């Protein structure tokens, strides 16, 4: 490959743009202002997809209605992320897939453990653990308008079996 001897200048482009998110996403973000989380209902198989989708990914048919699902749900997958360069005392970031009550699918969002529960993370952040959506009092139309917080259940000492379901 031949290399050029012409001078080059490093630069970057910053693009600000707006795009239409579609009627279901628009309804989803608008409902967050009312502290509601919406899903779309498939008339064929009755799946409730959260966040709502315009089609059912199982039946490949258009969905035609929205429904509010519960603001509580169960942790299905958890990732605790920390960086090597974390400042002293900086908490790791936790992201989880949560299946909200009444939903067929799960959605990912941040999980915040209240400072009052520091040290209890291993008990609270477990597959099958219950969480509650908490909402930003000043929503901006983004997924980060809400997050999940563990529901304190320190009496429970459930452990996890290989199937991922809590074991009594
Ligand atoms: Zn379906």
**Could you tell me the distance, in angstroms and rounded to a whole number, from the CA of residue 105 to the centre of ligand 1?**
12
Strand partners, 40: 49, 66
Residue among 164, 168, 146 at smallest CA distance from 76: 164
Separation of 32 CA from ligand 1 center, angstroms?
A: 25
Residue ranges per structural domain of the chain: 22-167
Q: How does residue 164 score in pLDDT terms, banded at 50, 70 and 90?
A: very low
Over pLDDT 90: what percentage of the chain?
A: 60
For residue 43, the CA-to-ligand 1 centroid distance in Å is 7
> What is the Å distance from ligand 1's center to 135 Cα?
29
pLDDT of residue 163: 39
Residue with tokens 């949560």: 98
Pairing of strands 159-160, 166-167: antiparallel
The residue length of the chain stands at: 168
- Residue 80 is encoded by which pair of tokens? 């605790």
d(CA 72, CA 48): 15
Distance between Cα 13 and ligand 1 center (Å) = 42
Q: What is the mean pLDDT of residues 133-160?
A: 80
For the domain 22-167, what is the CATH code? 2.40.50.840
Q: Could you read off the pLDDT of 87-139 as tens digits, one per residue?
A: 777 788 899 999 999 999 999 999 998 877 777 777 778 999 999 999 999 99
Radius of gyration of the chain (CA): 21
């Amino acid at each position: 490959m031949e290399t050029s001897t012409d001078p080059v200048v490093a630069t970057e482009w910053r693009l600000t743009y707006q795009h239409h998110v579609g009627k279901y996403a628009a309804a989803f973000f608008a409902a967050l202002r009312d502290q509601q989380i919406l899903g779309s209902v498939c008339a064929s198989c009755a799946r409730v997809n959260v966040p709502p989708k315009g089609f059912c990914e199982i039946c490949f048919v258009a969905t035609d209605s929205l429904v509010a699902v519960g603001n509580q749900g169960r942790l299905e997958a958890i990732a605790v992320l920390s960086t090597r360069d974390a400042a002293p005392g900086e908490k790791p970031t936790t992201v989880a897939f949560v299946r909200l009550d009444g939903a067929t699918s799960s959605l990912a969002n941040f999980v915040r453990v209240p400072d009052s529960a520091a040290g209890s993370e291993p008990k609270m952040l477990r597959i099958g653990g219950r969480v509650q959506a908490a909402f930003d009092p000043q929503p901006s139309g983004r997924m980060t308008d809400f997050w999940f917080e563990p529901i304190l259940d320190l009496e429970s000492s459930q452990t996890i079996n290989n199937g991922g379901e809590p074991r009594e």
